Amino acid sequence: MRSAHWCLMSTLLVVGLCAAAVTAHADSQDERRVRTGARLFRALLAADMDIERRVGDKGWLDIGILAARTEDADALSRLMVPVDAPDQALVRGYPMRVRRLQTLSDGEPAPAAVFLANRLSDSELAALIDWSRRHHALLYSPYEGDVERGVMAGLSIEAKVVPYVNQSALTAAQVQLKPFFMKVAKVHP
């Protein structure tokens, strides 16, 4: 009886450790996707053929990072606009103003683009996709599966990392990207 109890406890411990390892691996994969996506995000902005109409009254591109935690938004902001490379704060000559967003509403001015820092539930993502289309705001998610669900752009990691765009989402939001960008990107119809 005692050995059966010991065997059961050992099995539960091993299963628990394996589950923790799988979760840690998934988290680190998501974290890598987010960091890589933040670095590639500027390329999407630069490929926008109508970038001029996204420039605000103060002459900058208002970029929102939709993040649950301030620390996440701050870390991503530093990847998008490294403090030691001020020239990277410009997208086709326009300065970027990157700020954290907790929510998006119809009552306030829409940012030019939104970077999704955290995974959202299906209903939250659907609402965000609808909001981005109505406001013609670029929507970028580094999370696997979000482009297929209607997000305008993200990244594809296969043999190499390339931009991944949803053509129907771009069309619905009236967003046009430069032909060269579309040529190198993986395109979801």
Q: Write out pLDDT tens, residues 109-158.
A: 889 999 999 999 999 999 999 999 999 999 999 999 999 999 999 999 98
Q: How confident is the model at residue 108 (pLDDT cuts 50, 70, 90)?
A: confident
185: its two tokens = 């990107």
Q: How confident is the model at residue 164 (pLDDT cuts 50, 70, 90)?
A: very high
Q: Is 62 domain-assigned?
A: yes
Q: Is 93 domain-assigned?
A: yes
140: its two tokens = 């970028």
Using alpha carbons, list the distances in angstroms from residue 101 to 61, 63, 64, 113, 126.
15, 9, 6, 11, 17
* Structural domain total, the chain: 1
Q: Is 12 domain-assigned?
A: no
CA–CA gap between residue 21 and residue 189 (Å, rounded)? 35
Q: What is the pLDDT of residue 90?
A: 86
Q: What is the pLDDT of residue 27?
A: 63
Q: What is the pLDDT of residue 79?
A: 87
Q: Is 6 domain-assigned?
A: no
Instruction: Tell me the percentage of the chain whose pLDDT exceeds 90.
Output: 65
65 sits in which H/E element? strand 61-66
Q: What is the pLDDT of residue 7?
A: 39
Q: Is 24 domain-assigned?
A: no
Mean pLDDT rounded to a whole number for the chain: 84
CATH number for the domain including 101? 3.40.50.2300
Q: Is 90 domain-assigned?
A: yes
Q: Is 125 domain-assigned?
A: yes
Q: What are phi and psi of 3, to 5 degrees?
A: -70, -35
Largest CA distance in the chain: 76
For the stretch 45-71, pLDDT in tens is 999 999 999 998 899 999 999 999 999
Rg (CA), the chain: 20
Identify the domain containing residue 166 by its residue range. 29-188
- Better-predicted residue by pLDDT, 104 or 44: 44
